Amino acid sequence: MHEPITPRTADAIARLRLDEKVAIVTGGTRGIGLAIATTLARAGAKVAISSRKPEHVDAVVKALRSEGLEVVGIPANMGKAADAHELAARTVEHFDGIDIIVNNAATNPIFGPLQQATDDAFDKIFSVNLKGPLELCRTAHTIMAQRGGGAIVNVASIGGVSPEAGLGLYSVSKAALVSLTKVMAQEWGADGIRANVICPGLIKTRFSQALWQDKDISNQVLGHQPIRRIGEPDDVAGLALFLASDASSYCTGGVYMVDGGYLT
C-alpha cells in the first residue's frame, strides 16, 4: 500500500517547477539540448534557445510556442566569445534576467588518434566545448547574483571522466568542463550560484549517430552496461530539470552520470 502524499512530499514536487525563472539552453535545437529546453519550458521557465543556425532556432521556437510555451530564439556560435556575450545580453533584453544556464553546445570535428589532430581541430573543440561555457557564465554571473543566485548545468560526457577511444581531444575538453564546473561551484557558491555537470553516455542523438548506428560499438556498449539499452535525450533532460530547479538547492559541484551504468 502506498503511503499518502505528505505536505513535505508535495513541497518537494512543487520545487521542481521553474515558474518565472529564465533559462538559457545552448545547442538547444536538437538531441539532448532540445529535450532539455522543452522540459524546462514545460516546467514553467522562460527559455532562450540558442544554436548556430537561425533556421533551426526558428523552427524549434515555432514548435514550442505552438504548445503555449514562453520561448525565444537567439542564434549564437558558442565558439565565439562575442556571441556568448550577446546571448546573455539579448536574453536579459527579452526576459529581464537570467536564472539558469545549460551549456549543452559542443563540437567534435575529428575521430581518431591524437597524432591526427590538427591545430584547427584543437582550437575549435576547446573554443566551443570549454571557452564558450566559461564566457557565457562569466557574463551572466553578475546578473544571476543580483537576482539572488541561480543554477548552471554543464553537459559534458563520460569521456570527461574516462577518455573514449578515438575521441581524445573531445574527452580532454569535457574533462576540463568537469573541472571548470567544480571551480564555478567553489567560487560562486557564496553568490547563490550552483554549478553541476551531467556526463551522458551513449545517447541516441544525431551528434552520436556514427557510434550508436555501428553495431559493433553499440553491442560493446550494451554488453558492458547494466541497463541494456541506448539512452534517449529525455533521460538527460529529467536530471537537468532537477539540477536547474530548487529541488537540488543543496547540490553543487556534482558530477552526474547518465550512462546506463556504463562506468559502474
Residue 5 falls inside a structural domain:
no
pLDDT tens digits, one per residue of 58-82: 999 999 999 999 999 999 999 999 9
% of residues, the chain, pLDDT over 90:
81
What is the residue-averaged pLDDT of the chain? 93
Residue 2 falls inside a structural domain:
no
Tell me phi and psi for residue 236, to 5 degrees.
-85, -35
% of residues, the chain, pLDDT over 70:
94
The helix/strand/coil state of 154 is strand
Range of the domain at 116: 16-257
Residue 164 falls inside a structural domain:
yes
Rounded-to-integer distance, Cα 67 and Cα 44, Å: 12
The helix/strand/coil state of 198 is strand
The pLDDT value recorded for residue 12 is 82
189, exposed or middle or buried, with CB in 10 Å at 0-12, 13-18, 19+? middle
Is the pLDDT score of 1 beyond 60?
no
- Per the structure, how many domains does the chain have? 1
Tell me phi and psi for residue 166, to 5 degrees.
85, -5
pTM for this model (two decimals):
0.93
pLDDT tens digits, one per residue of 129-141: 999 999 999 999 9
- Which strands, in side-by-side order, build the sheet including 100-103? 71-73, 46-50, 22-26, 100-103, 150-155, 193-200, 255-258
**Domain at 249, CATH number:** 3.40.50.720
Residue 64 falls inside a structural domain:
yes
Residue 219 falls inside a structural domain:
yes
Which residues make beta-bridge pairs with 71? 47
pLDDT tens digits, one per residue of 155-177: 999 999 999 888 899 999 999 99
Block residue for cell numbers 523552427: 59
Residue 182 falls inside a structural domain:
yes
Range list of H helices, the chain:
7-14, 31-42, 54-65, 81-95, 119-126, 132-146, 168-188, 209-212, 215-224, 233-244
Residue 223 falls inside a structural domain:
yes
Q: Respond yes or no: is residue 250 known to be catalytic.
A: no
Block residue for cell numbers 536547474: 244
Rounded-to-integer distance, Cα 239 and Cα 203, Å: 14
Tell me phi and psi for residue 213, to 5 degrees.
-85, -15
Residue 4 falls inside a structural domain:
no
